[in-house]
Amino acid sequence: MAEDIVLDVRDLRMRYGRNDVLNGLSFAARRGEVLALLGPNGAGKTTTIEILEGFRMRSAGQVSVLGADPALAGEAWRARIGVVLQSWRDHARWRVRELLEHVGAYYAPYPVPGLPRPWDTDELIAVVGLAEHAGRKVRRLSGGQRRRLDVAIGIVGRPEVLFLDEPTAGFDPEARREFHDLVHRLADRDEATILLTTHDLDEAEKLADRILVLVGGRIIADGSADELSRRMSTEAEVRWSRDGQRFVHSAQEPTRFVRDLFRQYGESVEDLEVRRASLEDTYMALVRQAESGQERGADAAAARRLSVVTG
């Protein structure tokens, strides 16, 4: 349904001087969908997210976030957007609770039926796991705690769209898992649409309904983690043992290979394992393919031919 589309980006381009940073991105996201922008450094992830946040002008293309152009949208639109940027060292002298309460108050004039704004300060502090540090000065927080506060500030207005730029940088594994739970909660319970950038594959796989792989300012793949690895992996690894001897075989069509294997050896086939390429293998292959395409000086058409864009 068209009214369910919250993010709509068409042929987005960004150029600095003679340098093309974004070469015609197109993607969309529905309400409650979690999208991960995955890609190596310099791929254009941050530029893309900043254009969607309304913090940066684009060179060309159409962008719609909650039905408005971020470059022109006003304060009422701003109240529906949550932003967590990469590095923040602001408000060092403020106390955690004081700051969250203050920032939250700006959202009070923008209520939505069924969505009380802002988030209750104490509840939010508990949700991001900062209850013990509520009275602490921001500069006394550790890196991970500071990042949780950034996330809390990003969601204090109960955003309908949330942008997260490398949200879990500096998190320990436990904090990371708690953060993942929080993202799922926001997307499932509050139906927030979430766009996050990461270069952590594992994170993209765990969090995102859909992964966009961005390389050299182009989306070279768009799909769920499963779809991506299925689409890319032409080969699977088949392992088995027979009469105490172990075998490994790479098969283009593993199903047929295994069928033949059983036909030939029947019950003597044991310890069968069929392994598809992991998302990491897929991702590395995609990036390598795209980058080598660019190095060869391939023009836009050739790069598109090499890529596996289907969406």
Partner 1 sequence: MNASLAATRLGCRRGWIEFKQTLTNADSLVPTVIMTAAFLGVMLLTRTTTVPGTHFSLGTTMLTSVLGMSIGVNGLTSMGGLLAAEREDGTLLRAKAIPQGMTGYLVGKIVTVSLTTLIGVAGTLILGLVLFSGLAVGSATAWLTLVWVLALGLVATLPIGAILGSLFPSARSSGLMTLAVGGIVAISGVFYPITHLPHWLQWAGQVFPFYWLGLGMRSALLPTSLVAVEIGHSWRHLATFGVLAGWAVIGLAVAPWLLRRMARRESGSSVAARHEKAMLRVR
Determine the interface stretch with partner 1 among 23-31, 72-80, 253-261, 293-301 (rule: CB under 8 A): 72-80
Nearer to partner 1, 49 or 303 (CB): 49
Among candidates 30, 83, 19, which has minimal Cα distance to 54? 83
According to CB under 8 A, which one of 4, 10, 62, 76 is a site residue for partner 1?
76
Our finding on whether 231 is near partner 1 (CB under 8 A) is no
Our finding on whether 110 is near partner 1 (CB under 8 A) is yes
Please state the closest distance from residue 94 (CB atom) to partner 1, in A: 7
Please state the closest distance from residue 64 (CB atom) to partner 1, in A: 19
Our finding on whether 15 is near partner 1 (CB under 8 A) is no
Our finding on whether 75 is near partner 1 (CB under 8 A) is yes
Please state the closest distance from residue 114 (CB atom) to partner 1, in A: 19
Our finding on whether 107 is near partner 1 (CB under 8 A) is yes
Our finding on whether 78 is near partner 1 (CB under 8 A) is yes
Nearer to partner 1, 55 or 247 (CB): 55
Please state the closest distance from residue 291 (CB atom) to partner 1, in A: 22
262-to-248, 258, 259, 266, 278 alpha-carbon distances in Å: 15, 6, 5, 4, 25
In the window 287-306, what residues touch partner 1 (CB under 8 A)? none
Our finding on whether 72 is near partner 1 (CB under 8 A) is no
Determine the interface stretch with partner 1 among 97-105, 200-208, 216-224, 291-299 (rule: CB under 8 A): 97-105
> Going residue by residue from 147 to 186, which x/- string records binding to partner 1, judged by CB under 8 A?
------xx--x-------x---------------------
CA distance 113 to 227: 37
Three-state secondary structure string covering the chain: CHHHEEEEEEEEEEEECCEEEEEEEEEEEECCCEEEEECCCCCCHHHHHHHHHCCCCCCEEEEEECCECCCCCCHHHHCCEEEECCCCCCCCCCEHHHHHHHHHHCCCCCCECCECCCCCHHHHHHHCCCHHHCCCEHHHCCHHHHHHHHHHHHHCCCCCEEEEECCCCCCCHHHHHHHHHHHHHHHHCCCCEEEEEECCHHHHHHHCCEEEEEECCEEEEEECHHHHHHHHCCCEEEEEEECCEEEEEEECCHHHHHHHHHHHHHHHEEEEEEECCCHHHHHHHHHHHHHHHHHCCCCHHHHHHHCCCCC
Q: Per DSSP, what are the bridge partners of residue 35?
A: 195, 210
Our finding on whether 143 is near partner 1 (CB under 8 A) is no
According to CB under 8 A, which one of 56, 184, 231, 249 is a site residue for partner 1?
56
Our finding on whether 55 is near partner 1 (CB under 8 A) is yes
Please state the closest distance from residue 164 (CB atom) to partner 1, in A: 11
Determine the interface stretch with partner 1 among 101-109, 228-236, 250-258, 297-305 (rule: CB under 8 A): 101-109
Which position has the token pair 């002298």?
93
Nearer to partner 1, 108 or 131 (CB): 108
CA distance 60 to 53: 16
Residues binding partner 1 (CB under 8 A)? 46-47, 50, 53, 55-56, 75-76, 78-79, 81, 83, 85-94, 98, 102-103, 105-110, 153-154, 157, 165
